[in-house]
Amino acid sequence: MQLSLMIVAALLFAGGGLFMKASDGLTKLAPSAGVFVFFCAGAACQAVAMKRGEMSAIYVVVLGLEAIAAFSLGAIVLGEKASWTKVCALALIVGGIALLERP
């Protein structure tokens, strides 16, 4: 349950980033509303996940998963470049997340 909440939180935060990009600096009403809805929903999921775990680990795991989701959405939805350097950086993030989850 905790892991699923962290994944959902990361996906919501990354989705909020897409709305942030579409909002054109918060000048377009509908995407701007999406920014706040997605970020608030992501924060709620993260808060519930933190109820049963260590804040330091959960916060960083959600941020790492959000980075991976944002990279993926940027490449797939926005057509941003996915260089080997960026992929290697994501591998380091995944490795760090794995180390944080160790007892």
**Predicted local confidence at residue 9, as pLDDT:** 97
Query: Which is nearest to 49 in space by CA: 12, 10, 6, 100?
Result: 6
| Residue 44 identity | A
- pLDDT tens, N- to C-terminus, the chain (103 residues): 889 999 999 999 999 999 999 999 999 999 999 999 999 999 999 999 999 888 888 888 898 899 999 999 999 999 999 999 999 998 998 888 878 777 6
d(CA 100, CA 4): 17
d(CA 25, CA 20): 7
d(CA 73, CA 80): 9
Domain boundaries, the chain: 2-100
